[in-house]
Amino acid sequence: MNYTASITRNRTAFDDPQNDFLVINNLVKSFTNPEGRETVILDDISLTIGEKEYISVIGHSGCGKSTLLKIIAGLDRPTSGRVTLEGKEIRKPGAERMMVFQNYALLPWLTVKDNIRLAVDQVFKSASRADKISSINQHLAMVNLTEAADKYPDEISGGMKQRVGIARALITRPKMLLMDEPFGALDALTKRKLQAQVLKIWESHRQAVMMITHDVDEAIYMSDRIILLTNGPQAKIGQIIKVPFAHPRDRHAIQASKEYAEIRNQALDFLERYQ
């Protein structure tokens, strides 16, 4: 395999040659505390994401990663700057952007199947009952949950709950998947299995992904670019690392390469510098 690592610093919007599917332009986000003092959390973030690109965002706790994701989801608004998806400004949540949360966010009184059905009913209001059932079954199978379809969330493991969250997000065919530490609450083995499963699904149905993670190996294994944020307040994009490995990826093959160690060290050095 011919890997060529290219590592760039301080790239800004429009630098990416892919396309301008999601464009974050000079985004600033501040919060005002109860005494009326304003703190700038995210400071002048500019970034362009391609429509089939998998992006990871890494940064120390509290730097503003979830805030950035929430703004893209339309759950919060920037203080200044703009975020556009296919040229349209994001002002509120929409079915073309789906979130996967770290703590699953399933409805405990609904079965696995019905948690997924809820998303289908909200997005595909006019689809026939037969089509909905067939799509739900297909997505349950995709994340290996067919056997658990009629169980309730408190009857299944954390890894299974996260697979329900992923199936629920994927079934609506969003153009962009927003994942906030999706594997953060899982044990090491379940985490590896689910990372591989999600990557395999993404490799066969590519869409734009922004995933927040604290795990450098996860970011390298899964993503096309890694966005490193400096510490808050006033966090900025400190560095962007392009991951040069082609998809589909084999974790062991890429980990054995010289480029993997190089990228890993770059990311860890950055995080150490901003401790």
Ligand X SMILES: Nc1ncnc2c1ncn2[C@@H]1O[C@H](COP(=O)(O)OP(=O)(O)OP(=O)(O)O)[C@@H](O)[C@H]1O
Contact footprint for ligand X (CB under 6 A): 31, 41, 59, 61-67, 232
At a CB cut-off of 8 Å and minimum separation 6, what does 163 contact?
143, 144, 145, 194, 197
Asked if 41 and 250 count as a contact pair (C-beta separation under 8 A), the reply is no
Side chain identity, residue 208 = A
Side chain identity, residue 178 = L
* Distance (Å, whole) CA 46 – CA 18: 15
Asked if 100 and 169 count as a contact pair (C-beta separation under 8 A), the reply is yes
Phi/psi for 214 (5° steps) reads -105, 0
Nearer to ligand X, 63 or 186 (CB): 63
Cβ at position 63, least distance to ligand X in Å: 4
Nearer to ligand X, 190 or 234 (CB): 234
- Token pair, residue 125, equals 């209001």
Cβ at position 227, least distance to ligand X in Å: 12
Nearer to ligand X, 165 or 244 (CB): 165
Side chain identity, residue 115 = N
Nearer to ligand X, 53 or 180 (CB): 180
Cβ at position 90, least distance to ligand X in Å: 17
Asked if 47 and 13 count as a contact pair (C-beta separation under 8 A), the reply is yes
What b/e sequence results for 181-205 when a residue is b if at least 16 CB atoms lie within 10 Å of its CB, and e otherwise?
bbbbbbeeebbbebbebbbebbeee
Nearer to ligand X, 180 or 259 (CB): 180
132 SS3 class: helix
Cβ at position 89, least distance to ligand X in Å: 21
Cβ at position 85, least distance to ligand X in Å: 20
Cβ at position 178, least distance to ligand X in Å: 12
Nearer to ligand X, 59 or 244 (CB): 59
